[in-house]
Structure 1
Amino acid sequence: MTDVENAVVSTNAADGRSDTVVGSPVGSGVRTGLFIGGEERFTPEVLRIADPGKPGVVVGEAASASPGDVSDAVAAARSAFPAWAALSAQERAGMMADAIAGIAEERDADAAILSQENGKIRFESWVDALVFEIRWDLALMLADQVDTGHTLPVVPGAIPVSTEVSYQPLGVVTVIVPFNWPIAILGAALPHALLAGNTAIVKPPPSAPLATTRVVQRVAAKLPPGVLNVVTGRDENMAGLITDVDKVCFTGSVNGGKRIMQMASQTLTRVTLELGGNDAAVILDDAILDDTHLDRLYAAIYDTTGQICMNAKRVFVHRSRLNEVVTGLEQRLNQAVIGYGLDEATTMGPLHQAAQKAFVEDIIQEAKDAGADVREYGELPTGDLAGGNFLRPAIIVDPDPGLRVVTQEQFGPVIPILPFDSEDDAVRLANDTWGGLCGSVWTASPESATRVGSQLVCGYVWVNDHGATRLDLRAPFGGMKQSGIGREQGIEGIRAFQDTRAIATIDPTALAQMAH
């Protein structure tokens, strides 16, 4: 791939070539176009979207934008910006509420499409679309705060000036989302950008763009033309979505985020980056390990076949509780059904791309070659699913901490479980990593939870819980260290799409009196 391709393609998974194929249109499956300036636009070339569970099957096709199409999208958003920004936040919120109304009517179809193009089970895909609506509605609840500034009063004895501090939108914003939870992740940024007064261009993931494009287009069609646009296509044509806009909000891999920053630096385009994680779950000696909590831990590790940025990637367990955790996870892994995402019995679908499957297989094999205690579960599907991106889930008990399964983000259904002997050791081990997205503390003691949780170097900490489905969607979210820059959600997420303006008014009478 070119640097531009990698910059825009890269998701939370290890960087790798997209399974998407570029070609001429085909006659079957789902078909989506671009949406620019209030109009749908189809293109001569398309992206043929592969089904990760069924080799050779094409789910559908998405339009493949040219650089000219990208320029048109930026121009449409620029043209729509002045009128949109001139509205009050309450006026924008009213129009956005009308635009999201009825979005659930096609949710079952959206979920089925997303399951086929992504690979994850249908229920997760349905929740993916639901969370977009929830986040949209939560953002609208902040409308009264969006335009609220404050006044800096005159300081006695200083220059007699009072200053009004207010907020203004940035302009045109690009929102780039990954394949794993694309619609839900979009909801963490898009409504906040629009409510703040910006216009937007959405860039769905090239390997799974269909369901996201459908959802966004239905919303965009109800907003003034150009306020919300959707562009899909070959990423070598997408540089304008980074260099020709006022801000880029990117969710993806660390390497992808670095390339986004490199490209954005050419024009000093602002960035928010929500990148990968190597999240630690810290299980103290007094942790409650009943079925409820073990179910939460299992989901935190294996939801979406392990392909979630905020999944637990390393589990640190007090040595006295190690066997309980291993046994609890084994009981659940023995019940896992690996299969096609649309099959009702399936609990774990395929990995999204063949390159990611190969990476996860490689780090598991490395652990085996090093003599680690590697345990794998479940049976791979056969028939028309043979050769799909399926992988048996695994746990690796007490591995060498230098192995890649510990040091790198697996982004797949494998977890290292590492014992510790003291609380200080647990904190040190948890923080000994490149990332700082999320973490969790499992304990029966609120005091221990606060003590340990406050020492974890990450942007979000759960207590006795962990995982994307347990996120407080009102709270600011984002990473530390190489897990990202900036915050999404909440009023902090609104301010990320605004700039401050200070208007200072001097009191000439008071100034004259000071002169005497």
Structure 2
Amino acid sequence: MTDTTTAREVRTGLFIGGEARDTADRLEIVDPARPGAIVGTAAAASEADVADAVAAAKAAFPAWSAMTAQQRAAAMAEAIAGIGEDRDADAEVLSRENGKVRFESWVDALVFELRWNLALQLADEVDTGSTLPTAPGIPVRTEVQHQPLGVVTVIVPFNWPIAILGAALPHALLAGNTAIVKPPPSAPLATTLVVQRVAEKLPPGVLNVVTGRDAQMAGLIQSPDVAKVCFTGSVNGGKRIMAMAASTLTRVTLELGGNDAAVFLPDAILDDTHLDRLYAAIYDTTGQICMNAKRVFVHRSRMDELVAGLSERLSKAKLGHGLDEGTTMGPLHQPAQKAFVEEIIQEAKDAGADVREFGELPGGDLAGGNFLRPAIVVDPDLSLRVVTQEQFGPVIPVIPFDDEDEAVRLANDTWAGLCGSVWTADPEAAQRVGSQLTCGYVWVNDHGATRLDLRAPFGGMKQSGLGREQGIEGVRAFQDTRSIATIDPEALAAMAH
């Protein structure tokens, strides 16, 4: 067990144009589990620092984009080498600033490396274009090519910041862009440490890190020298980014919130393996994952069985500091989020819903931390906010249905379209129902971030976002397409006759 009361404070700076930079203004980062405990401080960039980062990335772009994709991949492979040597220390810092349990923080850093290396496997496809031959009435041979955009800003959230960065950053760099990473202001330390170690091994300006207050960050979005912004966060945050980007017609990829439906058909398998998967899909990171299950729809004949299975697991939940031995659920990251989740749970209680809460709040120096007892809301009114809004906390509504058509209708009756899942022993039923869910990613008999295929395109529909990350689609999102047409004299002559 780590003694987090005496752990050293972490101090991080900016990294711009290949050089570390300190700032007089600092962000104070607090431990969400222990009120008043300071984890460390991060540099708070000024508008001038932001402008310098954009200028450094712009200056590095010509040489970096002139390389072949294979040359960039080789440089990136060298830059990521050895990143895992500090993973234990990175995970400890992330748990202290984020609140989640150590193992999740360790996996967070691991997934960044996995995604980076999977992206490098796409190097041979990056520059691959196509040729349109001459055709009747079109006397040209046209080459369709892909080219990088320029300077890209990647903005990541607090919950899985390092892993989420891996879904976009390596693809942007491999495509030939230079990048500026903006870690989350409430939990920037571990992300900054990891990215700087990679950036130090790349040519100066190719990869930059800027932390600070949002009020000084507009240049990362609205500078005419920024070609694209890739943002992961809340729906409202995505709307703000999109509105800001509109002033310069800066492109955006937005990976936003979800209200994921998990649909359990009458023949769903509810053994320990599948119930463990469901529990993790709901309560991992204290429910603070965009692609967690947020609404469970279960055939009425299996309702009691599913609720009992979740209740059994929740009865074993141990709330505590993320670095403490035996802790299975940490605090919520922000007091405001704790207050919101408390509010929607109380609203459900006031409406007469069957709300079942589990676990004990920790005491001692953790009393007053952002802890919340995990809960199930059984058969709530569908108008309650615990159903209609993204909870982003340790609570789930479990809702019965009577037939398949009703289940699909209820699952799709939401503003969101990030992910969904179908649980059934029948592969044909899984395909039938899964293909009707209006969302960007569907699991069968599983759900959640730990089961994501890191090679597959990922992104949302409806208000869950724009664009796709991962895979060759993720690379193309950081490229533009151009056509080069060359006159074919023979085809032109044939037209003249």
**TM, length-normalised to structure 2:** 0.98
> Contact between 2:266 and 2:424, CA under 8 Å: does it hold in 1?
yes
What is the CA–CA distance in structure 1 between the aligned matches of 2:495 and 2:375, rounded to whole Å?
76
Aligned to 1:138: 118
Aligned to 1:12: none
Q: Which amino acid aligns with 1:39?
A: E
Deviation at 1:28, TM superposition (A): 5.7
- For the pair 1:187 / 2:166, whether they are aligned, the reply is yes
Q: 5 Å matches for 1:144-293?
A: 144-155=124-135, 157-244=136-223, 245-293=226-274
Q: Secondary structure at the match of 1:482?
A: helix
Aligned to 1:13: none
Q: Secondary structure at the match of 1:246?
A: strand
Deviation at 1:514, TM superposition (A): 1.6
Deviation at 1:511, TM superposition (A): 1.1
Aligned to 2:460: 479
What is the CA–CA distance in structure 2 between the aligned matches of 1:463 and 1:305, rounded to whole Å?
23
1:444 aligned residue (425, 435, 440): 425
Aligned to 2:107: 127
Deviation at 1:311, TM superposition (A): 0.1
2:386 aligned residue (384, 387, 405): 405
Deviations along 1:322-369, one digit per CA (max 9) or x if unpaired, are 001000000000000000000021000000000000000000000000
Deviation at 1:499, TM superposition (A): 0.4
What is the CA–CA distance in structure 1 between the aligned matches of 2:134 and 2:493, rounded to whole Å?
15
Aligned to 1:497: 478
Deviations along 1:386-441, one digit per CA (max 9) or x if unpaired, are 00000000000000000000000000000000000000000000000000000000
2:39 aligned residue (50, 59, 73): 59
Deviation at 1:515, TM superposition (A): 1.5
Aligned to 2:323: 342
Deviations along 1:96-148, one digit per CA (max 9) or x if unpaired, are 00000000011000000000000000000000000000000000000000001
Q: Secondary structure at the match of 2:454?
A: coil
Q: Which amino acid aligns with 2:197?
A: R
Q: 5 Å matches for 1:312-331?
A: 312-331=293-312
What is the CA–CA distance in structure 1 between the aligned matches of 2:160 and 2:65, rounded to whole Å?
29
1:376 aligned residue (354, 357, 360): 357
What is the CA–CA distance in structure 2 between the aligned matches of 1:114 and 1:185, rounded to whole Å?
14
Deviation at 1:159, TM superposition (A): 2.1
Deviation at 1:513, TM superposition (A): 3.2
> Contact between 2:137 and 2:495, CA under 8 Å: does it hold in 1?
no
Aligned to 2:3: none
Aligned to 1:515: 496
What is the CA–CA distance in structure 2 between the aligned matches of 1:152 and 1:277, rounded to whole Å?
40
What is the CA–CA distance in structure 2 between the aligned matches of 1:253 and 1:328, rounded to whole Å?
31
Q: Secondary structure at the match of 2:125?
A: helix
What is the CA–CA distance in structure 1 between the aligned matches of 2:95 and 2:440, rounded to whole Å?
29
Instruction: Return 5+ residue gaps in structure 2 as ranges.
Output: 1-6
Q: Secondary structure at the match of 2:381?
A: coil
Q: Secondary structure at the match of 2:28?
A: strand
User: How many residue pairs were aligned?
Assistant: 489
Q: Secondary structure at the match of 1:107?
A: helix
What is the CA–CA distance in structure 2 between the aligned matches of 1:137 and 1:349, rounded to whole Å?
30
Aligned to 1:87: 67
What is the CA–CA distance in structure 1 between the aligned matches of 2:427 and 2:141, rounded to whole Å?
45
- For the pair 1:428 / 2:438, whether they are aligned, the reply is no
Give runs of ≥4 in structure 1 deviating > 3 Å.
Answer: none
Q: Secondary structure at the match of 2:422?
A: strand
- For the pair 1:303 / 2:274, whether they are aligned, the reply is no
What is the CA–CA distance in structure 2 between the aligned matches of 1:153 and 1:441, rounded to whole Å?
45
* Identity %, equivalent residues: 81
What is the CA–CA distance in structure 1 between the aligned matches of 2:319 and 2:8, rounded to whole Å?
27
Deviations along 1:275-328, one digit per CA (max 9) or x if unpaired, are 000000000000000000000000000000000000000000000000010000
Aligned to 1:44: 24
What is the CA–CA distance in structure 2 between the aligned matches of 1:75 and 1:446, rounded to whole Å?
53
Deviation at 1:173, TM superposition (A): 0.2
Aligned to 1:395: 376
What is the CA–CA distance in structure 2 between the aligned matches of 1:402 and 1:423, rounded to whole Å?
21
1:103 aligned residue (83, 99, 120): 83
Q: Which amino acid aligns with 1:206?
A: P
> Contact between 2:422 and 2:434, CA under 8 Å: does it hold in 1?
yes
What is the CA–CA distance in structure 2 between the aligned matches of 1:344 and 1:477, rounded to whole Å?
34
What is the CA–CA distance in structure 2 between the aligned matches of 1:99 and 1:142, rounded to whole Å?
17
What is the CA–CA distance in structure 2 between the aligned matches of 1:150 and 1:46, rounded to whole Å?
50
Q: Which amino acid aligns with 2:97?
A: E
**TM, length-normalised to structure 1:** 0.94
